Amino acid sequence: MKKILLATGGGDCPGLNAVIRAISKAARRKGGWEVWGSIEAFNGIMAEPPEIVKLNRRRVAGIHVKGGTIIKTTNKGNPCDYPVQLPDDTWTTEDRSEILIQKISDHGFDAVVNIGGDGSQKISLALFQKGLNIIGVPKTIDNDLSATDLTFGFSTAVQIATDSFDKLVTTAESHDRVMIMEVMGRDAGWIALHTAIAGGAEICLIPEIPYKVDNILKRIHKRYRKGKGFVNIVVAEGACEEHGTIVGEKAHDIGDKHIKLGGVANYLRAALEEKGCPAQIRTTILGHVQRGGTPIAFDRILATAMGIKAFEMIENGEFGKMVTYKNNQIESVELSEAVKSYKVLSKDDYLIKTARSLGISFGD
Ligand code: F6P
C-alpha cells in the first residue's frame, strides 16, 4: 500500500473538506493507496505520539457539505519557523523541516498534499526543495493567490457577505442611516468589491485604492435630501485612508506573525462623524462568519475538482507543483511560480470599471 498524507494549514475556509473527500475517494477507487490526515497542519505528524488519522470511507462520507476542516488547522505550525519555548520561558523559533521530512518518511508516506494559502504554499516549496514529494492545493477566502483565477471558499464568503449586506440595506432604508459593513480579505479587495456589486453598495473601499474621508462624505451628502436617504458602504478590512495606516493590531499568539486586521469600519465611522456626517452611522464587522458554514455549490465543485487533480498529480509524480484553476480549467503550476506574488485588484480590472460605471464610489 502506498500512503498519502494530507494537511490543512492557515485559516480555514469552506471547501477544505471537499478536497479531503475527493482525494480519499479517488485513492480508494484507484486502489493501492491509503490516505491519512495530519491533525492541525503538520503539527499532527510532528507530535509524539503522532496525531494522524486514516481518512477512510466512513470518515469522509458526506463531508463535502461541511464547513471547516475535519483534520483541523492552525496558523502557528510553520515547520521552517517553529515556535520553541526556552528554559527561561521565553520563545524562539527554529527550523524543524528536516525533522518533519524524516517523520513523514518514517511513517511510510509516499506523497503529501498541503492544502493552504500563500503561507502554506511557501512551506510546501521549502519542503519540496528539501526533497519531500509534496503538492499544494490553494485555499483562501481572500482569493489573493496569483497563480489561480479563483480559490475555493472565496465565492462562499462573497455569498455570505452579500446576504448580510442585503439585510443591512433594508434596515438602512427604514432608518435613513449610513451602514458600514466591514469584510475580510487582508490586503486584497476581492470580497469587498464582489459584495459591493452584488449588493448594490453606494461606496466600496478596498486596499488597492486609498480613500479620502471628504470624498466619502460628499457621496453621502448627495444621497440625502432634507435628512432623508440611506447609504450602504462595504469596506475591506485592509482598506486605508490616503496617507493613513491600516487598522489592526499585532498578533499576540506565539508563532503567529500576522497583523490582526479589523476595525476600519469603526475608524471610518469616527472620521465621518467628526467631519459632520448628515445621518446616523452604524457599523457591522462580519468577521469569521465569512469563513464558516457550508460551502456553496460552486466551491464544493471547485474544491472537489482540485482534490481529484491533486491525486492525479501524485500518480504522475508531478511534485513541487500547486493545483490551479485557470481559464475554466484545472491545471498545475510550479510552486516556485505560485508563491512569487499576491493577486490584488488592478485599477483597470473589469469589475472596478463595472463598479465605477454603476456609480459606486471608491472614495478616491
Ligand atoms: O486569510 C483569511 C482571513 O480570514 C483573512 O481574511 C483575515 O484577515 C484573517 O484570515 C483572519 O485570521 P484569524 O482567523 O487568524 O483571525
Whether the CB of 261 sits within 6 Å of ligand 1: yes
Residues 308-323: b if buried by 16+ CB within 10 A, e if exposed: bbbbbbbeeebbbbbb
- 11 CB-near residues (< 8 Å, 6+ apart): 73, 75, 117, 140, 141, 291
Give the C-alpha distances (Å, rounded to integers) separating 182 from 56, 70, 106, 233, 351.
40, 28, 46, 8, 19
Give CA–CA dist 96/246, Å, rounded.
33
Give CA–CA dist 71/41, Å, rounded.
8
Mutation to probe ligand 1, out of 121, 291, 344 (largest number of atoms < 8 A from CB): 291
Domains and CATH numbers, the chain: 2-152+295-338 (3.40.50.450), 156-291 (3.40.50.460)
Residue nearest to atom 15 of ligand 1 (CA): 11
Q: What is the pLDDT of residue 286?
A: 98
Q: Which atom of ligand 1 is nearest to the CA of 262?
A: 8
- 352 CB-near residues (< 8 Å, 6+ apart): 193, 209, 345, 346, 362
**Quick check: helix, strand or coil at residue 85?**
strand
Whether the CB of 186 sits within 6 Å of ligand 1: yes
Q: What is the pTM of this model?
A: 0.96
Q: Are strands 248-249 and 260-261 parallel, antiparallel or unpaired?
A: antiparallel
Question: Are 13 and 291 within 8 A, CB to CB?
Answer: yes
pLDDT digits (tens, 9 = 90+) for 84-137: 889 998 888 899 999 999 999 999 999 999 999 999 999 999 999 999 999 999
Q: Which of 193, 131, 156, 134 is nearest to 300 (CA)?
A: 156
Question: Are 67 and 37 within 8 A, CB to CB?
Answer: no
Whether the CB of 75 sits within 6 Å of ligand 1: yes
Q: Which of 64, 60, 68, 6 is nearest to 35 (CA)?
A: 6
For ligand 1, the distance from its centroid to the CA atom of residue 288, given in whole angstroms, is: 8
For ligand 1, the distance from its centroid to the CA atom of residue 108, given in whole angstroms, is: 34
Three cell numbers, residue 156: 462562499
- Kindly give the parts of the chain with pLDDT less than 50: none
Q: What is the pLDDT of residue 255?
A: 66
What are the residue numbers of the active site? Answer: 142
Q: What is the pLDDT of residue 151?
A: 98
Would you tell me how many other CB atoms lie within 10 Å of the CB of residue 19? 29
Whether the CB of 14 sits within 6 Å of ligand 1: no
Question: Are 208 and 189 within 8 A, CB to CB?
Answer: yes
Q: Which atom of ligand 1 is nearest to the CA of 258?
A: 15
For ligand 1, the distance from its centroid to the CA atom of residue 144, given in whole angstroms, is: 12
For ligand 1, the distance from its centroid to the CA atom of residue 258, given in whole angstroms, is: 9
Question: Are 332 and 132 within 8 A, CB to CB?
Answer: no
Whether the CB of 291 sits within 6 Å of ligand 1: yes
DSSP structural state of residue 322: E
Whether the CB of 139 sits within 6 Å of ligand 1: no
Task: Fill in the amino acid letter for 324.
Answer: T
DSSP structural state of residue 227: T
